Structure 1
Amino acid sequence: MPKILPMTTAANRPSSVSSEPHRNHFAGIDALRAVAAVAVVVLHACVPYAQPSMAGLSWSVHDTPSEPVTAVFWAIEIVIMPIFLVIAGFFAARSIAYKGAWSTAANRLRRLGWPLLLTTLFLLPIEFYTWMLGWVAEGQVAVGNVRRMKFEGGIDRNLWGLSHLWFLQYLMTYMILLAASWSTLVRCTAGQIGRIALPGCFLAAVVALTLRPEVVWGFQHSFLPVVSKWVYSGAFFAAGVFWYRLDPELDELAERGSRLLGPGVLLTTAAVCIGTWWLGVIGDPAMWIGGGWAGIDPEVTTEKFAGQLPASSLVMRSALAILSVGAASLITFALMGISLASVNRLSPIMKSLANASFLIYLLHHPVVGLAHIAAKFALPTVSPIAKVALVSSLGVAAGWSVSWLATRRRQRIREQSQASQERPQSIAFPQRSETEVAKTRAA
């Protein structure tokens, strides 16, 4: 266990230290964040071809199932959000330690709140009609239903919510809670964090996933935070916060994180195999999923067995939860450690991708949904793997190109400003009046 370091706060920090240290040390984390943003696009690009699919997730179309795509989909699904949440928790704690709790929270709320508001107002309507286009093309709904926004058979039960933007909403709530509890957290010792806090995070995630398997193995869609999903995600965010208290420069993780990769891969493989089997056994997701506005009791009523145990038993669900949380935890810290140890400086392409990662996350969803519709009807004979590659490329390009254009515009404005400041200015010499000139000639 790393030795906890003395914690500085905004109140006791020397006046000469006014801001967070330079972050070149964390170039590996920036690279990991960029790759993870691409992985999110790949995850969504796999949705129409995954079988079993994610219960409760409404998508624009369904296409030809593929076993390799299914394996990739579920492997990414298990680990991707824990990676973002642990990183977010770590850097939230780091910023608070150097800049103060409430100033950091206010800054984060502005940085997350405005994108959440704007994308909710402008992007979600585009996404809705993209989904309706796919549903009409597949014959799931009639055009009249779309105009009236009234659907039959409960097809829209998981349509209404923040879509992929839930992550921003949850982060904002975590930041408020972290700022409010920071004065208590800084008093925690290394022993308390190692023996109580981190195991508590693991336990909270396992309990949430046991009670509500749809946190990972389904999709909970709502305009407000879903308690089970909020607890599960918050456990990983809190793990990042506590890890900062133990290893604020991530030196220990960079040195030893690679050791976690092997066990993490084994647990992820086991979780994918057992989880997909479990979904196939459970059957109709309406019998167990409790997400969105449906309010359906998530109790599973299947009579199928795994050995001598019912597939719906608490033992089966808790075993799957332990595998899933263990895999997510090991892979997250392993990839963070490997990235830190292997990346000291970002290449121009990786730096550009890292800078674009937030826009890729924000903008890719409707692009991917529309690309799936086009791929299904325009490329019916193309393999699902090729379609995933094509759709992923388009989804990444959407956010990356917007980021590149914005960067070029800022650079052009900066160059014009510098040029105007460096342009030589003519000096106006004082001019003598005609009377003074006449006096000079007379003299």
Structure 2
Amino acid sequence: MTTIVSHPSAPIPAVRSRWEGLDWLRAGATVLVVCLHAGIPYLKHPMPGLAWPARESASIPVDVLCWGIDAFIMPLFFLQSGFFAAQLMRRHGPDGFLKHRVQRVGGPLLFGMVVILPLDLYAWLLSWVGQGLITARKLRSLKIDSPLGENLWGLSHLWFLEYLLVFCVIAWGLQRLAALRKRDTLPMHTPSHMDGSSWLAMLGAIAISGLALWWQPRVVIGFRHSWWPLAANMLYYAPCFGLGWMWSRSRRGSRQSQLSFGIRLAVGALMFAGLYPLLQQHLAAESIPVANPLLPFMFAASAWMLSTGFFGWCLYHVHVSPPKPVQYLAEASFWIYLMHHPVVGLVQGNLVHWNISSELKFAIATSAGLGMSLLTYHAFVRRSWIGELLNGRRIGAPVSPAADPSRQSVAA
């Protein structure tokens, strides 16, 4: 990655003031993330390595939905983040890019660690106290015995911000290295075989991500709680960020038809249907590395087909402005990402005592996570310094969306 300058054979196109399709995508993906977390207690098999406030009777529909979301949602977010990171680099230069990313990613990460993670922790602990799994004294000592305490400590759902910040620092370093070597001119558009939307690039990404998932399946098929970036996780998600970056620098994707992206979505869905029985076999008797190498590569392929299909479709072929409720949901998406997690966990801990179906509990937890996040956003965040930290400005202050393309990229 090098500094991008104007080139006679590749003029820089005008910056779009708004990507309507990506507002739809941001709002929809935010809802899916809340659905994923709301469904975890009702999976057929517990998610390996994940400490959770509740574990209840399984629901097959919820299980299929949640694993389907889990397959592609984070690759989609990293793909979108890489896409806008490349535009920020082009607009601000390496040092301006780094400053922007530290403020807009590192700032919310620090806020989340100080404010959200304690809420998360006590939502979990209070749920366990209510179920009689730990004593109330543990709320003070925080000494949680195994197995509950084994996977309790780490960044929780904030891991995405940490990895995104690391990828941005790496991008800055590569730009600086390129400048030192005086390779500081690069055509705006990449060759078609290196285009982030190309099939060849996607096959390479599938191979890398599949290898990482075979090596450590809990990257996606499970969870790895940590304070620090982990090698297998980096290997799995780096191609997502990288291809998003390449996609931003190319024109080829805009020439692909709706049919092309529709084929990706159809193939991705069919591949997930095919791998679902393999996934259940693995979860019933987990092995690391994965015993059946077909599973991780099919999982990665499904993830890439679905994530690039959704992203390309929304980027190039959705030009209808979303209605105000969807716009508001997209605007609040960063706060929803931060806040829904402890809300969902606390609600699920209370729902354990309710004699209702798992599907209904899933719906209640989803609604509570979205509803409470939106209420707190409107009441306390939107026009406050927190909203400025998350959105780059206080709502009501005049700003051109083109001035900050990262507003289109949601963290989750």
Judge same fold: TM > 0.5, yes or no: yes
Structure-2-length-normalised TM-score: 0.83
Q: Find the residue that maps to 2:137 and give its secondary structure.
A: helix
- Deviation per residue, 1:259-288 (Å, 9 max, x gap): 212111101212223212221133xxxxx5
Alignment-derived partner of residue 17 in structure 2:
23
| Residue 233 of structure 1, aligned match among 219, 234, 237 | 237
| Conservation of the 8 A alpha-carbon contact between 2:340 and 2:369 | yes
Tell me the distance in 1 between the aligned counterparts of 2:280 and 2:186. 41
Q: For residue 129 of structure 1, give the secondary structure of its aligned residue in structure 2.
A: helix
Gap runs ≥5 in structure 1: 1-6, 283-287, 289-297, 300-311, 415-443
From 214, 236, 260, give the equivalent of 1:210.
214
The share of aligned pairs that are identical, in percent, is 30
CA apart distance, 1:52: 0.8
> Does the 8 Å CA contact 2:20/2:318 hold for their aligned counterparts?
no
User: 1:277 aligned to 2:259?
Assistant: no
1: CA distance, partners of 2:135 / 2:111: 30
| Counterpart residue number, 1:43 | 36
Partner residue of 1:268 out of 267, 272, 291: 272
Deviates more, 1:154-163 or 1:164-173: 154-163
Q: Which residue of 1 aligns with 2:348?
A: 372
Contact 2:344–2:366 at 8 Å: present in 1 too? yes
Judged with a 3 Å threshold, the aligned counterparts in structure 2 of structure 1 residues 253 and 232 are, in CA distance, closer, same or farther, namely farther
Aligned 8 A contact 2:54 2:127 in 1: yes
CA contact (8 A) 1:54 1:217 kept: yes
Task: Summarize the alignment of residues 31-430 of structure 1 with structure 2, pairs less than 5 Å apart.
Answer: 31-182=24-175, 183=178, 186=186, 189-192=191-194, 198-247=202-251, 250-252=254-256, 256-282=260-286, 288=287, 298=288, 313=291, 316=292, 318-340=293-315, 341-377=317-353, 379=354, 381-405=355-379, 406-407=381-382
Instruction: Verify the 8 A CA contact 2:2 2:174 in the aligned structure 1.
Output: no
Q: Give the letter aligned to residue 394 of structure 1.
A: A
Number of equivalences: 374
CA drift of 1:346 comes to 1.8
CA shift at 1:10, angstroms?
6.0
* Kept in 2: contact 1:20–1:99 (CA 8 A): no
**d(CA) in 1 for partners of 2:200, 2:258:** 23
Whole-angstrom distance in 1 between the partners of 2:268 and 2:90: 31
Change (3 A) 1:148 1:261: same
| Kept after mapping to 2: 8 A contact 1:198/1:242 | no
One-letter code of the match for 1:279? Answer: L
Indicate how the Cα distance of structure 1 residues 337 and 160 shifts in structure 2: closer, same or farther if over 3 A, else same. same
Distance in 2 (alpha carbons) for counterparts of 1:49 and 1:372: 10
Supply the distance in 1 between the matched residues of 2:159 and 2:124 (Cα, whole angstroms): 18
The RMSD of aligned alpha carbons is 2.8
In the other structure, the counterpart of 1:291 is none
2:335–2:373 Cα contact (<8 Å) kept: yes
Cα 1:10–1:237 change in 2 (3 A) is: closer
Assess if the C-alpha contact under 8 Å between 1:44 and 1:368 holds in 2. yes
User: What is the identity, as a one-letter code, of the residue corresponding to 2:249?
Assistant: R
Greater RCO, 1 or 2 (C-alpha within 8 Å, sep 6+): 2
Assess if the C-alpha contact under 8 Å between 1:94 and 1:248 holds in 2: no
Which is further off, 318-327 or 189-198?
189-198
The amino acid across from 2:300 in the alignment is V
SS in 1 for 2:118: helix
* TM-score, scaled to structure 1: 0.77
Distance change >3 Å, CA 337–CA 189, structure 1 → 2: closer
